[in-house]
Every structure is written in C-alpha cells, then in structure tokens.
C-alpha cells in the first residue's frame, strides 16, 4: 500500500507534470466513453482539443467564450487565497448584467461616448454591492459567506426574470421576457474585424496581468496570502480580517459584475433570462484548475472554452450528443482536481502505523 | 372573495408531495454537512438517482427496485466525490460543482432511450376506513410510501445525531476534525459514510421525482431541486426537524403560487395563513421546551403582516419571480439569526464545514 | 428558457426581398440547431422528427446533422456560424430566441440558406416559418367543451405572448360555443419545459375542479398526472390533450386527442427546393390545411357525434370555410372586437395581447 505524505514545499516539477498527467488520464477515460458510444475516440479528441486551435475563427471564439470565465476566476482566486469563499459569482455576474443593461436601456435615446464606460461602472458597482451583502453579514454577524453568497445567486436569478418580464422588457417585444436590443453605442466595439472578439477580452487579459503582479509584488497581495496561509500570524502582522473580507469579496464581485456587463454588451447585446449560463460557477472550477494563479487561470479558462467550442463541433460533425460532451468535461475536471494532490503531497510506501 | 374553492386539506396534501424530494435530499446533505463536508453536487446526484431509478423500475417493472437502484447510484456518485475530497484532498466546492456537471451529463446520456416511457405505478397507503376519514385521511394516511420513508428518515436522523454515540462522533468530526482525529476517531472513514448516506438520500429524492411525482423521465427534470436542498439545510440550521418545515416552505411556494393563480386570489392570503399556523405550532412547541422563543414570534408576526397584505389586495397576482425569491431571503435571515447568536451557532453550524483534512497535517 | 412565437407580418423586417439565384445540386448538407434535448418529447423532439423525415424522404441526396441544447444568445451565434462554415447548404434554427443570431450569421454567409422557426425577421437567404396552432386549439376546444362535466377546463400556459394568448382564446371560444357554462382556469407557469412544475400546475387545476386539462407547455407531465386520476379510487377521471407530440403513451385513458407540430412536409419541401435550386426567402404560416398543425387521433372515449363535429370543424378549417375567430367577439372588458361574421386578420392575431369576453382573471402583463 501507499500513503500520502505532505511535502515541505509545493513541488515545482509536479506543478508542471500534473496537468499533463490529468490530460493523459482524461484522454484515456474519454476514449473509453466515446468508444462505448460507438464513436471514433481519436477523431473525437482531435475535434474537441486540436481542431479549434488550428482554425482561425474557432480560436477567436475561444477568447470570447473563455474571457468571462477568466475574468471571474481571477477575482475569485484572490479571495480563495485569503480563505474568503465567494461562490456567488454567478449572482454578481447577473446583477452586473442587469445594472449595465438598465443603464443602456434608460439612455437608449441619448447615445453618447461615455455610455459604455457608464455601463461598465454600473456593472462593476452592482457586482460589488451584491458581494458586499455576504461580506457585511460575515463581518457583522459572522454568517458563513459560502452559504449567503450561494443563496444570493438564486435571488439574483429571480431578480433578472422579474426585470426582463417587467421594467426592462422590450415594449414592442410581444410580451416576450426579453429586453430590446441595445443601441449601437451601448455595444462593445469589436477589436478583430469579422469576429466577436470585443474590447472586454483585452480588458480581461489586462486584469489578469494586473492580478498577477498584485499577488506577487504588492503589499495587499502579501496580506491576502498571509491571511489565507496563516490567519493568526496575519492578525499579529496587523492585517484586519474585516478589511481582507471586504477587499476580496468586493474585488471578485466587481470583476464578476464587469464580466456580466461584457457579456450583455458584447456578444449578447440585450438582456435575456438565458444570459447567465453558469459562468460564475464554472469560474470556480477554473480558478482551482488554474491553482489560484492568474497565469494558470488563463490556461484553465482556455481548456474549458476548448471543451465547449470543440464539443459543439463534435455534436454536428460526429453526432456525439451534448450529454456525452458534458460528461466528458466533468471527467476532465475530476482528473485535474484529483492530480493536484501530487503538488503538495508525495506518495510513499506505507509504513506500519505507530500506536498512539 | 371566493375562498370556498380553496381546500386547505388538498392544498397541504400537494405541499407534502412537493416537499418530499427536498426532504430526502436535504436530510442527506444535512448529515454530510454535520460531518464537516460540503457537497455541492446534490443536483447531480439527484438527477442520476432519477434516471437510475427510472431505468431500473422500467427494466424490472418493480418501483421498489427502482428506488433501491436510485439510492445505490446516488451513493456511487457521492463516493467519487468522497474519493476526490477525502483521499485526494481536492477542494470540496470545486469537486461538488464538477459532480453536478458530471451527474447532469451522465443522466442525460443514460436517459436517452428512456424518454417517452411510462414507469410502473407506485402504491399509495390505503388503510381501509382510516384513509377515507375526512381531513385526517387525505392529510396523514393516503400518501405514497416514500412520504413516510422520508419522514422516517428525518426521525432516524434526529435520533442518530442527537441520541446515539455514533451520531455524537459524527458531529465531533464535523466540529473539529483535528481533535476528533487525535481522539482516535477515523475521520476520513466517518466522512465517507456520511457522504455515501447523503448520496443515497439525494438519489432517492431524484427517483421520487421521476417515479412518483411527475412520473416520467425527461432530461434536466430536477430543474434545480438539488440546489434548493442545499439552501434547505442552511434554512434548517442543521436540525433534522426543521428540514421538514423548510421543505414545506421551499416546495410550497411554487405549489401555492399555482393554486392561487387557478383560484384567482392573492397568494399572500394562504401564505400568510400557513406562516401564522406554523409560527403558532412552533411557539407552542418551544414554550413547552421552556426556551427563548424569538424565531417563532418573528414567524407569527411575518405571517400576520403577509396575511393582512393579502386581505387588503385580495385579487393581486404577484409575479412568480418575486415569490420564488422569498425562501432564499428567509434562509439568509435565518442564517444571520443563528450565526449572530454565538451559543446557538455552536449547536448548529458544523465548525469544520468545507475545511480540508489530512491526518498528518 | 425557450421563446418562440409566430412572425409579425406587420413588423416583418425583410432586409432584401427576392430569391438568391442558385443552381440545382445533387447533394446537400442540412444542419439543425435545437434549443432543447431531442429527448424532450415536445418541441425539439418534433423538429427532430422532421429532420428524420427529410432523411427518409430524400435518402442519400441529403446529409443532416444537429446540435442540441443550444442556449439562446451568444452560444447560438457561434453554433450557427460554425455550421455555416462547415459547408452546410441549409440550416434550420428552431427557436424564437435565435432570431437575431440567425440574421447576423446569414449576413456573413450569403450562399447558405437559413430557415428560422417562429421569428419575424427575414433576409434574402433567411426564410421564416411557423404553424397555426390555434386552428388545432379550436378543434380540441370543441371536444373539451363537450367532455367536461364540472364545466371547468384547466389551462397550463407558459408566457403571455401572442401565440399562447391566441391559443387560449381560440380554445375558449370553441368550448363556449358548445357549452355556454364552461369556465377556464388558467395557470401561468413561466416556463416552456419543467416537468415537475407542470405536474404541480396540473394537480392544482384538478384540485380546483378542472376535469379537462389543456396545456401550452412542452412536457407530457400534465398528461401523466391526468392519467393518474384514472387509477385513484375516488372516481375523478380527468382528460387531457397531447401537446406538440401525440403523447398517447402517457395517457392511454386520459388522452382525448392532441395537437401535433408536424414539420416534416415543410422540411422536405424546403430541402427539395434547395436541391432543385428553387429555394427563395418567404414566410410560411401553415395550419391544418398545409399539414403543419395536425390533430391527433380521437379517443373512443369521445362520443361518436362529438368526434364527427370535431372532424367537421377540422375539415372546414382546412377548406377555409371556418375561421376560429369569427365575430361577434368582444374583448374581455366588453369592447367589441369582431362584428357579426367578421374574421380576425393575421396582423391582429400575431399581436394578440387580450383575452376575449368571458375568460376570468387578468392577462399577466
């Protein structure tokens, strides 16, 4: 038998090796799955993982699909580092989208150059404020932020439905629960002609870079990491836990809200009940797959986007049902989550347990 | 205003049916969380239970075998979660979310040949004469068997956690796994048992949907019930009996809203009346236990306000989205109330919830 | 959430009329974009039946493929684009919520033909199509009016969009014409597809005394619930109608008839048109006559003379001698809508946002 023994230092070698191991594991599991469905496993893997990278249009779509995941995950990761568990990013994403859309629709007749910045501010602020609810309840009443932020996702989902069926509904839309399509001045400009890559994608990359340097070099980053690794020491070092909670929740909420604004003003161009499709939850997984590191998150977001974009192609070109893609994605996540242990632990032959 | 068509007995009977899957999934997750583990994959385990139970029931023609299979399937999936979080120390939140994804995908995959098939019927309790009694009969003695199973599970969980030594150990593991470990309790094994139990319960809850409540298989049929079960555990502040209460509230909102629409009356009327009644029962119960009775008073007061609002605007139809928000807001309120009270918090929320445990660290 | 309605002729945004000239082909690839799973046994299921019908009818001249569970919004645009890029000749986008995305992608792929279900925006290479489901509602409304003993008909509705409101009005007018005491109890469930919620709604309606259930949602849950009442000892036997699919297997006793979305004839016709090079952009709103709205087989539980009357109504609608909305009809508030003998025009039907006189409760706005 083998057992796990903690390493004194996270293994650098394993940090590089484990994702490779996970991919190999997934490829084997996936091959079995697709073969069991009577599909050619090699072709399926090629279509999901390789083809989207070779095709110029699919490459840009990876950016469009992956950027909300990365933007949200970068914010969440900062909090997770500090032991602040915001799992309600989906709710903050929704509130950001609703607020930004409300601004866009209220000023529909007054297009102006400052409209998009105003929408961005509204989206980020709404996400920030929505995240402040669990933050405040945690500081004031020590209510568990995991649970409060999760509950607020459901509230936000219903709020979105109430808004698109009420005040924000398109008056000419035949009672469909949809807003009207935004005015051109409320739509994010496209950066690469002929694709859907909008300004938000680049802001996301910029934010990820910023987060990278903040966590490495800045005193705030240091305090956040200290808070997560050694809460007691952090307190002695003069770190106020309340301030960390507000910083982490606020940052992740604002970024999720901004992601909501990007999605509404970018590819969607209107507010609809189908706008939130679980980016906030998927981003949690992305954050962990990326080991809470902005660079890792970029890669993880890309892999996740690959499985979506490639999965769609696999549906119409190989007839692989959507359900199989979803199962496959879950397997990939399981594999990635399970190999992580090798970074912090090593496998050693089991010794006889000493009696206490 | 025509209230004669509102049959409170029939209404409560349908509330019970709506609440049962939530009770099943909720009580399982309660035990998991009591052991200090947060499994967010309830939705995934429920839907796999729904299809596994359905497939087995259709295949064998026996609904009982279907339910057993559903429990086994839920348990199996839960053990994958257990393997990842307990042995491979993967993050519980991320693994739980991944479990939901896998469950939804897997269920849809298995379920493809089962769309459009009818499951075998499940027996209802029918005691001669007793089940035909007015009021009491339809209210207590004529449900399907799973309603009683769910109730029995709640009682058993209550006894187990509160009165048994094993339950005490489980709670100790959830409160402080390091202390429990140094006392020589097998933390990981106990948690695996709890996780497996939670999975089995979630599987049963899913099968209740596909075999009894709807009854049919359709992709995505749990439609968020697993997430509600998670909220329910918090609402119940980790107390088995309150899971029953909470399930009626969460499951009941939709039922109530649909019924009042058919009646063309303001849903606040029956909602307020139910809250009043529940608050009253709770008040009486807590008086006999001679404890401070803040929460039931809040409930009574809320009920009165809601009822008054309903009576002032008897015809008003409130948008279903606003109504659907209500239970989650109440849950947050409950969470704040129990968290702010230090002495009580220690009695309810498991202290090690969601934390990583490794024996050598 | 699935959103769909019929086009609004008045609002139709025809970007460029006329056909794109094309030559005949011997082999074409056809793609379908579905909003739900093919196993939903309702809306998407019927579109997939249409896809299979194309394959059966045209054999190796066509190759069809689909993507299911495509969320309305950004994801849909990518899927449609990818399909167009992969060399499809004809793409069916089968949910109202794909409207803007279809138009956008079509602009970039002028040589690919697009068919968008239930929308109202067209282009030179985008055609729209839908079915006159309200004609079917008239026929089953007649049956419901005859069959109810409690004079209470329960109606499970999704969203207060014109298509649904039109269905309620058509069914109510027909039921009322044969049973003056009939009452409709309407429950809005705010979803197209949620079996548990639809089952709850059916239960609520049955408890409120409805003994015939109609629905404008996609799952067979209500049918299943109605069938359950036939087993219960208290003798309340509730009837229901199949919606989108026939749903016979879900209610051998409870099912009276059904309204079936039958896309097969239209799909085959359009695929042939692309093969022949005669395809052009147009709008199709077909009903019983065109075979797009099909009335399912009548149950033997319906008395002979009622069956005959229902069949006669269906035949008359097909022949064009009967219109489900024929005056005198007042709106719910009593204001006159149609004069004696006057029939509703399509524009009013397409934007219908009012109940007719006699329906209780208010239309959610």
Distance from CA of A20 to the nearest CA of C (A): 29
Distance from C-alpha of B156 to C-alpha of B166, rounded to nearest angstrom: 13
Q: What is the pLDDT of residue A337?
A: 85
Does any CB of chain B come closer than 8 Å to the CB of residue A341? yes
Contact partners for chain C, using 3 or more CB pairs closer than 8 A, are A, B
- Which residues lie below 8 Å from residue A252, measured CB to CB, with a gap of 6+? A72, A75, A76, A78, A79, A86, A89, A92, A131
Q: Contact B225/C199, CB-based, under 8 Å?
A: no
Q: pLDDT > 70: what percent of chain A?
A: 97
Out of B105, B234, B325, the one facing A326 most closely (by C-beta) is B105
How buried is B96 (Cβ within 10 angstroms: 0-12 exposed, 13-18 middle, 19+ buried)?
A: buried
- Choose the closest CB to B97 out of A137, A285, A344: A285
Return residues 193-232 of B near A (CB < 8 Å): 219, 227, 230-231
The pLDDT score that the predictor gives to residue A166 is 85
| Beta bridge partners of residue C331, listed in sequence order | C356
pLDDT in tens, A259-308: 999 999 999 999 998 899 889 989 998 998 888 889 999 999 998 999 89
Q: CA of C364: how far to CAs of C161, C162, C206, C212, C355, in Å?
A: 10, 12, 22, 23, 11
Q: What integer pLDDT is reported at residue A192 of this predicted model?
A: 87
Q: How close A113 comes to chain B (CA, Å)?
A: 35
Given CB atoms, is C205 within the 8 Å cutoff of chain B?
Answer: yes
In a domain, A258, yes or no: yes
Q: What is the DSSP string of A168-197?
A: TS-TTSTT-S-PPPPPGGGSPPBSSTTS--
Which of A200, A274, A310, A313 would best serve as a mutation to test chain C binding (most C beta carbons within 10 A)?
Answer: A274
Here the CATH number for the domain that contains residue C102 is 3.40.50.2300
Interface of B with C in 89-128 (CB under 8 A): 108, 111-112, 115-118, 121, 126
Task: Please indicate if any CB of chain B lies within 8 Å of the CB of C188.
Answer: yes
Residues 6+ apart with CB under 8 A from C116: C92, C93, C98, C99, C102, C103, C126, C127, C128, C129
Q: How far is A112 from chain B (nearest CA, A)?
A: 33
> What does the pLDDT look like over B262-297, one tens digit per residue?
877 887 887 788 778 877 877 777 666 555 556 677
Q: Which residues of B136-145 are buried (b: 16+ CB within 10 A; e: fewer)?
A: ebbbbbbbbe
Boundaries of domain holding C241: 134-253+294-350
Residues from chain C that touch A174, judged by Cβ atoms under 8 A, are: 5, 8, 161-162, 351, 353
CB contact under 8 Å between A155 and B98, yes or no, is no
Residue A56 lies in a domain: no
Q: How far is A312 from chain C (nearest CA, A)?
A: 7
A155 touches chain B (CB under 8 A): yes
The domain spans of chain B are 8-225
Asked whether the predicted pLDDT for residue A230 surpasses 70, the reply is: yes
Using the Cβ of A4 and the Cβ atoms of chain B, whether some distance falls under 8 Å is answered with yes
Contact B218 C41 (CB under 8 A): yes
Contact between C162 and A175 using a beta-carbon 8 Å cutoff: yes
Closest CA to A310 of A62, A143, A3, A132: A62
Asked if residue A304 is part of any domain, the answer here is no
A86 pairs with which residues across the strands?
none
Contacts with B219 from chain C: Cβ below 8 Å: 36-37, 39-40
- Which of B87, B91, B328 is the closest to A288 by Cβ? B91
Asked whether residue C362 is assigned to any structural domain, the reply reads no
pLDDT of the residue at B343: 57
Q: What is the mean pLDDT of residues B303-307?
A: 87
Task: Assess if residue A340 is contained within a domain.
Answer: no
What average pLDDT score do residues A174-183 get?
86
* Among A148, A327, A356, beta carbon nearest to B335: A148
The answer, for B102 touching chain A at a CB cutoff of 8 Å, is yes
Q: Is residue A233 part of a domain?
A: yes
Q: pLDDT 10s per residue in chain C (365 long)?
A: 344 443 433 333 443 334 444 578 889 999 999 998 887 777 898 999 999 999 999 999 999 999 998 988 889 999 999 999 999 999 999 999 899 899 999 999 999 999 999 888 899 999 999 999 999 999 999 999 999 999 999 999 988 888 999 999 999 999 999 999 999 999 988 888 888 889 989 988 998 889 999 999 988 889 989 998 888 766 679 999 998 888 888 889 999 999 999 999 999 999 999 999 999 999 999 999 999 999 999 999 999 999 999 999 999 999 999 999 998 999 999 999 999 989 999 888 988 889 999 998 888 76
The 8-class DSSP code of residue C130 comes to E
Mutation pick from A55, A94, A316, A322 vs chain C, by most beta carbons of C within 10 Å, is: A316
B353 to A284, B175, B359, C149: CA distances (angstroms): 18, 8, 16, 57
d(CA A116, CA B124): 60
Residues C279 and C221 in one domain: no
Minimum distance, in Å, between the CA of residue B333 and any CA atom of chain C? 27
Pairwise CA distance, residues C56 & C49, whole Å: 10
Smallest CA–CA distance from A60 into chain C, residue: C78
Residues C206 and C340 in one domain: yes
Q: Is B358 on the interface with A (CB under 8 A)?
A: yes
Take residue B98 and report the two structure tokens written for it: 């991944």
Nearest CA in chain B to C203: B14
Q: How many helices (H) and strands (E) does chain A have?
A: 15, 2
Is A316 a member of any domain?
no
C266-to-C41, C255, C273, C283 alpha-carbon distances in Å: 20, 27, 10, 12
Q: How many CA atoms lie within 13 A of C15 on its CB side?
A: 17
How many Å lie between the alpha carbon of A142 and the closest alpha carbon of chain B? 6
Contact criterion met (CB < 8 Å) for A274 and C78: no
Q: What's the domain count of chain C?
A: 2
- The C-alpha of C79 sits at a distance from chain A's nearest C-alpha, in angstroms, of 7
What's the CA gap between C110 and B301, in Å, rounded?
A: 65
| Contact call for residues B15 and B140 (beta carbons, < 8 A) | no
* Interchain CB distance below 8 Å, A315 and C66: yes
Residue A267 has its nearest CB partner, among C1, C77, C83, at: C77
Residue A353 binned pLDDT confidence (cut-offs 50, 70, 90): low
Domain with A266, as residue range(s), is: 79-277
Rounded to the nearest angstrom, the gap between the alpha carbon of residue A266 and the centroid of all alpha carbons in its chain is: 17
Q: Does B94 touch chain A (CB under 8 A)?
A: yes
A308 in contact with chain B, both atoms CB, cutoff 8 A: no
Q: Does B76 touch chain A (CB under 8 A)?
A: no
Q: Is position C279 within any domain?
A: yes
Strand order across the beta sheet in which C283-286 lies: C62-67, C28-33, C90-93, C113-117, C126-131, C283-286
Contact B258 C197 (CB under 8 A): yes
Among residues C67, C118, C112, the alpha carbon closest in space to that of C261 is found at C118
Test A57 with C86 for CB contact under 8 angstroms.
Answer: no
The minimal CB distance from B262 to the residues C208, C249, C250 is found for C208
* Least confident residue range of A39-53, A127-141, B184-198, B245-259: B245-259
Q: Is C353 near chain B, with CB under 8 Å?
A: no
Residues C144 and C122 both lie in one domain: no
Scanning every residue of chain C, which has its alpha carbon at the shortest distance from the alpha carbon of B315? C361
Under the banding of pLDDT at 50, 70 and 90, the label for residue B70 is very high
Query: Do C66 and C82 sit in the same domain of this protein?
Result: yes
What's the rounded Cα separation, in Å, for the pair C168 and A112? 44
**Cα separation values, C119 from A222, B73, C68, C112, Å:** 55, 43, 19, 18
How large is the average pLDDT for residues A11-27? 82
pLDDT, residue B1, reads 40
Domain presence at residue A22: no
Give the pLDDT score at C244.
85
Closest by CA to C145, choosing from C173, C166, C176, C169, is C176
Please tell me the predicted confidence (pLDDT) of residue B126: 65
Query: How far away is chain C from the Cα of A126, in angstroms, using its nearest Cα?
Result: 22
Collapse the DSSP code of A349 into the 3-class scheme (helix H, G, I; strand E, B; otherwise coil) and give the result. Answer: strand
Same domain, C96 and C158: no
Closest CA in chain C for residue A61:
C78
- Give C269 to chain B, closest Cα distance, Å: 28
Which 26-85 residues of chain A touch chain B by CB within 8 A?
Answer: 85
Residues 169-208 of C with CB under 8 A from A: 190
> With 90 as the cut, is the pLDDT of residue A126 above it?
yes
Lowest mean pLDDT among A110-114, B1-5, C2-6: C2-6
Residue C357 lies in a domain: no
Split into its structural domains, chain A has a count of: 1
Of C37, C231, C364, Cβ closest to residue B121: C231
Contact C100 A61 (CB under 8 A): no
Ordered DSSP codes for C92-111: EE-SGGGHHHHHHHHHH-TT
Nearest to C196 among B10, B213, B317 (CB): B213
A55 assigned to some structural domain: no
Number of residues written out for chain C: 365
Per-residue confidence at A194, pLDDT binned at 50, 70, 90?
Answer: confident
């Amino acid at each position: 038998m083998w057992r796990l023994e903690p390493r004194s230092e996270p293994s650098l070698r394993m940090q590089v090796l484990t994702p490779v191991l996970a991919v190999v594991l997934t490829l084997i599991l996936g091959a079995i799955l697709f073969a069991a469905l009577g599909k050619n496993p090699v072709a399926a893997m090629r279509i999901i993982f390789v083809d989207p990278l070779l095709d110029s249009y699919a490459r840009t779509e990876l950016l469009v699909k992956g950027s909300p995941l990365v933007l949200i995950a970068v914010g969440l990761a900062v909090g997770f580092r500090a032991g602040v568990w915001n799992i309600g990013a989906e709710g903050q994403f929704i509130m950001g989208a609703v607020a930004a859309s409300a601004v866009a629709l209220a000023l529909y007749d007054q297009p102006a150059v400052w409209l998009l910045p105003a929408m961005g501010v509204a989206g980020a602020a709404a996400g920030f404020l929505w995240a402040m609810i669990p933050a405040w309840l945690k500081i004031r009443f020590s209510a568990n932020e995991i649970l409060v932020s999760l509950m607020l996702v459901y509230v936000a989902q219903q709020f979105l439905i109430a808004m698109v069926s009420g005040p924000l509904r398109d008056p000419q839309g035949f009672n469909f629960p949809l807003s009207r399509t935004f005015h051109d001045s409320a739509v994010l400009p496209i950066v690469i002609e002929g694709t859907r890559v909008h300004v938000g994608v680049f802001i996301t990359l910029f934010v990820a870079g910023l987060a990278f340097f903040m966590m490495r070099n800045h005193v705030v980053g240091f305090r956040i990491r200290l808070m997560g690794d050694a809460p007691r020491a952090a307190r002695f070092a003069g770190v106020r836990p309340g301030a960390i909670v507000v910083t982490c929740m606020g940052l992740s909420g604002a970024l999720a809200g901004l992601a909501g604004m990007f999605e509404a003003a970018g590819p969607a161009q209107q507010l609809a009940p189908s706008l939130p499709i679980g980016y906030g939850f998927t981003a949690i997984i992305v954050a962990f797959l990326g080991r809470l590191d902005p660079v890792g998150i970029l890669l993880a977001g890309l892999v996740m986007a690959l499985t979506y974009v490639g999965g769609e192609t696999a549906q119409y070109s190989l007839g692989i049902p959507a359900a199989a893609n979803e199962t496959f994605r879950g397997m990939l996540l399981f594999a990635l989550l399970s190999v992580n242990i090798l970074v912090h632990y090593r496998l050693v032959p089991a010794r006889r347990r000493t009696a206490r | 205003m025509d209230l004669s068509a509102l049959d409170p007995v029939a209404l409560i009977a349908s509330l019970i049916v709506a609440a049962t899957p939530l009770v099943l999934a909720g009580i399982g997750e309660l035990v998991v969380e009591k052991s200090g583990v947060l499994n967010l994959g309830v939705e995934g385990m429920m839907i796999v239970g729904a299809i596994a139970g359905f497939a087995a029931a259709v295949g064998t023609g026996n609904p009982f075998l279907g339910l057993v299979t559903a429990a086994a399937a839920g348990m199996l999936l839960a053990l994958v979660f257990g393997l990842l979080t307990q042995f491979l120390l993967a993050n519980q939140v991320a693994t739980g979310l991944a479990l939901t994804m896998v469950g939804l995908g897997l269920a849809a995959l298995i379920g493809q040949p089962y769309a459009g098939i009818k499951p075998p019927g499940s027996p209802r309790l029918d005691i001669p004469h007793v089940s035909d009694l007015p009021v009491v009969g339809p209210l207590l003695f004529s449900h399907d068997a799973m309603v009683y199973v769910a109730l029995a599970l709640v009682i058993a969980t209550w006894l187990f956690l509160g009165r048994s030594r094993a339950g005490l150990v489980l709670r100790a593991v959830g409160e402080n796994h390091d202390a429990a470990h140094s006392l020589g309790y097998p933390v990981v094994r106990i948690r695996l048992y709890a996780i497996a139990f939670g999975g089995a319960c979630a599987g049963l809850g899913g099968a209740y949907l596909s075999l009894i409540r709807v009854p049919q298989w359709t992709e995505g049929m749990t439609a968020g019930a697993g997430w509600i079960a998670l909220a329910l555990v918090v609402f119940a502040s980790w107390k088995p009996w309150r899971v029953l209460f909470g399930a009626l509230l969460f499951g009941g909102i939709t039922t109530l809203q649909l019924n009042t629409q058919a009646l063309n009356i303001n849903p606040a009327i029956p909602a307020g009346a139910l809250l009043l009644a529940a608050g009253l029962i709770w008040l009486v119960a807590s008086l006999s236990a001679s404890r401070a009775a803040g929460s039931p008073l809040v409930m009574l007061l809320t009920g009165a306000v809601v009822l008054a609002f309903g009576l002032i605007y008897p015809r008003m139809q409130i948008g279903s989205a606003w109504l659907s928000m209500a239970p989650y807001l109440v849950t947050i309120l409950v969470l704040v109330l129990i968290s702010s009270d230090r002495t009580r918090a220690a009695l309810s929320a498991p202290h090690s919830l969601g934390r990583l445990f490794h024996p050598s660290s | 959430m699935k959103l769909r309605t019929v086009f609004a002729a008045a609002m139709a945004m025809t970007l460029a009329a006329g056909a794109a000239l094309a030559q005949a082909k011997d082999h074409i690839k056809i793609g379908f974009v579905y909003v739900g799973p093919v196993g939903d046994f309702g809306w998407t299921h019927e579109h997939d039946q249409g896809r299979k019908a194309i394959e059966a009818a045209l054999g190796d001249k066509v190759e069809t493929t689909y993507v299911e569970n495509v969320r309305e919004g950004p994801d849909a645009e990518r899927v449609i684009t990818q399909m167009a890029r992969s060399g499809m000749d004809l793409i069916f986008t089968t949910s109202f919520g794909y409207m803007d995305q279809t138009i956008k992608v079509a602009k970039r792929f002028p040589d690919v033909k697009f068919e968008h279900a239930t929308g109202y925006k067209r282009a030179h290479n985008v055609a729209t199509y839908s079915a006159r489901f309200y004609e079917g509602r008239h026929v089953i409304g007649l049956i419901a009016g005859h069959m109810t003993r409690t004079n209470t008909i329960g109606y499970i509705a999704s969203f207060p969009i014109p298509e649904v409101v039109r269905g309620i009005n058509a069914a109510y007018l027909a039921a009322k014409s044969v049973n003056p005491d009939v009452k409709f109890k309407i429950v809005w469930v705010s979803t197209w597809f949620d079996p548990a919620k639809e089952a709850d709604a059916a239960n609520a309606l049955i408890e409120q005394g409805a003994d015939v259930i109609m629905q404008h949602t996609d799952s067979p849950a209500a049918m299943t619930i109605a069938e359950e009442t036939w087993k219960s000892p208290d003798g309340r036997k509730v009837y229901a109608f199949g919606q989108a699919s026939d749903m016979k297997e879900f209610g051998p006793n409870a099912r009276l008839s059904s309204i079936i979305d039958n896309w097969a004839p239209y799909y085959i016709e359009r695929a042939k048109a692309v093969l022949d090079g005669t395809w052009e952009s147009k709008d199709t709103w077909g009903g019983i006559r065109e075979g797009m709205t099909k009335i399912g087989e009548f149950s033997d539980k319906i008395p002979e003379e009622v069956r005959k009357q229902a069949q006669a109504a269906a035949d008359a609608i097909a022949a064009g001698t009967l219109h489900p909305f024929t005056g005198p009809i007042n709106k719910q508030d009593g204001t006159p809508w149609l004069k004696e003998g006057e029939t509703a025009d399509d524009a009013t039907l397409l934007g219908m946002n009012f109940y007719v006189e006699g329906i209780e409760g208010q239309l959610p706005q």
